[in-house]
Structure 1
């Protein structure tokens, strides 16, 4: 994003819907009034509705519903996360772009956002439905100075940031389903994909991908997903400005990340457990050729699941397992 244009929208936002004269903007930005006008026209292309009144100046009367590099950085209150931002109208996968940028030296906190993904993917390379204009599809590049074995904690941290954002912004109460999903009312709302490039004792970079269903209606989802997936719109009956959700999420994630780096994982783990899906409830675990009933107790610091077997009270630490989270209807 043009730095002067970023300064311009910052100045306009500070006036809180009041007019600011072209001369004041010209002086503040150290550009001509003609250049100010040209920047206004570029903002209008992004969907901002700008009112210009003789002898009063300019004001923004409506923010755009669509997302773009400009709308995402308008009012972004982070110190470093998302300040370097790449936006694509359409791409195969934000993860792919983020890996390319990271390998080219992209700075810590760089973010990639797309309006549409053609080959969005989740854990185990499962496809992720990522249609244009409906959801949030983004990837973040982090370069944490932590040991590689602690990288799974970043997935748990991201899940907490998503839940806290949706509680505060959308007033809904989602839950975190181990290892990397966000659920609401037993349906999937979001997924997290964490990928790492590292050496034995040093992380080069971590890419954290997020797919969040925002304004999907039920019939927008593929038929196979309509009974197992949801969206913020389905849950609230409202359309939501995706740029605002992204901005608030980046603020939440930056704060949690900085706490994690400075003070460790204890608080993040506590918040994760407070929002965990099916915590304290019975689940069915399939490991190797055995299926058994267990009570979900929590997680380890390394992200492993802790489950107590119902039959013998033995505790298990699970790094990977197939889990039935609730009974099928024909078993009820």
Structure 2
């Protein structure tokens, strides 16, 4: 209950822009006592919010800390279910195992686990993902699609399209997709997607999609080995961005594409993915284990696999690393 009241209180304060909202209005709209209001105001102050209290006038929000907590996200959501249930922690090892635990407890579809920092974030094939505090979007989304297990990889492609569309609209940057799970700007990585699932007997029980986006990071926070291969939205745009606003936009695109996918299948997603892909028509090297093969990337198969035209014919690639 207390968390809900704080979320609504932040929303009320944000609605007032530069003005004040009276204690009486807060009390009526949130159905709580003046004593409770004062308690929650103090809790928000302890979280870093600067709230001015003026006798006979009310409260005014002077400063908001840079957080992706639910009270900051909810005003930017325009969805029915994606992002409507949120768990938030300031610092975690990784959001992925915590989202798995929540899914096993029965978390509803669209539930979102958010953190300010990951100290042991990971990507595909167990690779480490650098997640400095308050600089990016580190989150895991729980989905429960009624699809066969072999279609689950399509969700990675769907998510990459949704994030690309959202970030392009919000930032104006030329973001492109690298198969199977990275988003790039001029060849440098800004986002990775990790799709994990649980299922049996050819049926998905739930999917956890880990999403890591470099938003406001500067090169100074990265180890040397990342500076040549990674970038952030802020570095590329020359300005910082509201992380809750970006998350809200991503949730909106995800929900629209996800519902379209459930109703109409993968074909529309495939068309969109190929529009944003970096490799279509280019010669690439595909590496799987100790083996590698060169060819021209032709696009996606109907099931989402990569089609590679080689000297011996067209090969279907399901999971690998690629080099352009």
TM-score higher than 0.5? yes
In 2, Cα distance between the equivalents of 1:277 and 1:112?
30
CA distance in 2, matches of 1:8, 1:33: 13
The aligned residue for residue 202 of structure 2 is 201
Aligned to 1:316: 315
Whether the aligned pair in 1 keeps the contact of 2:95 and 2:114 (CA below 8 Å) is yes
Contact kept, 8 Å, 2:176 with 2:184, in 1: the verdict is: yes
Rounded to whole Å, the distance in 2 between the matches of 1:255 and 1:181 is: 21
Q: Please tell me whether residue 257 in structure 1 is matched to residue 275 in structure 2.
A: no
Taking the aligned partners of 1:282 and 1:151, their CA distance within structure 2 comes to 27
Secondary structure of 1:208's partner? strand
Q: Summarize the Cα distance change of 1:278–1:42 in structure 2 as closer, same or farther, 3 Å threshold.
A: same
Question: Following superposition, which runs of at least 4 residues in structure 1 exceed 6 angstroms of deviation?
Answer: none
Check the 8 A contact 2:183/2:191 in 1, yes or no.
yes
Q: What residue number does 1:152 align with?
A: 153
Structure 1 residues 314-323 or 92-101, which shifts more? 314-323
Corresponding residue for residue 125 of structure 1: 126
Gaps of 5+ in 1: 326-332
How far does the alpha carbon of each residue in 1:213-247 deviate from its partner, in whole angstroms, 9 at most, with x for none? 11221232111111111111221122222222222
* Contact 1:214–1:242 (CA under 8 A) maintained in structure 2: yes
Distance 1:17 1:256, change over 3 A: farther
Comparing 1-10 with 190-199, greater Cα deviation is found at 1-10
Q: Indicate the SS of the match to 2:91.
A: coil
Following superposition, the deviation at residue 275 of structure 1 comes to: 0.4
- Separation in 2, partners of 1:291, 1:34: 67
Task: Check 1:62–1:169 CA distance in 2 against 1; reply closer, same or farther (3 A cut).
Answer: farther
| Alignment RMSD | 2.1
Within the alignment, does 1:34 sit opposite 2:35 as a pair?
yes
Q: How much has 1:56 moved relative to structure 2?
A: 3.3
CA-CA distance at 1:297 after TM superposition: 1.3
Contact residue 112 and residue 139 of structure 1 kept, 8 A: yes
Match of 1:243 in 2: 244
Aligned 1:156-195 pairs, distance under 5 A: 156-195=157-196
Q: Map 1:45-124; keep pairs closer than 5 Å.
A: 45-124=46-125
Indicate the structure with greater strand content.
Answer: 2
Secondary structure in 2 matching 1:118: strand
Q: 1:154 to 1:288 in 2, by over 3 A?
A: closer
Distance 2:133 2:288 in 1: 38
> In terms of mean alpha carbon deviation, does 72-81 or 254-263 score higher?
72-81
In 1, Cα distance between equivalents of 2:290 and 2:32: 71
Alignment coverage as a number of residue pairs:
323
Displacement of 1:290: 6.3
* Alignment TM-score, normalising by the size of structure 1: 0.90
Shift of residue 186, structure 1, vs aligned partner = 0.8
Any idea what the Cα deviations from partners look like across 1:133-186, whole Å, max 9, x if unmatched?
Answer: 222111111111222222111111110111111111111111111111111111
Q: TM-score, normalised by structure 2?
A: 0.92
Gaps of 5+ in 2: none
Task: Name the CA shift for 1:90/1:204 in 2 (closer, same or farther; >3 Å).
Answer: same
1:164–1:45: structure 2 CA closer, same or farther, 3 Å change rule? farther
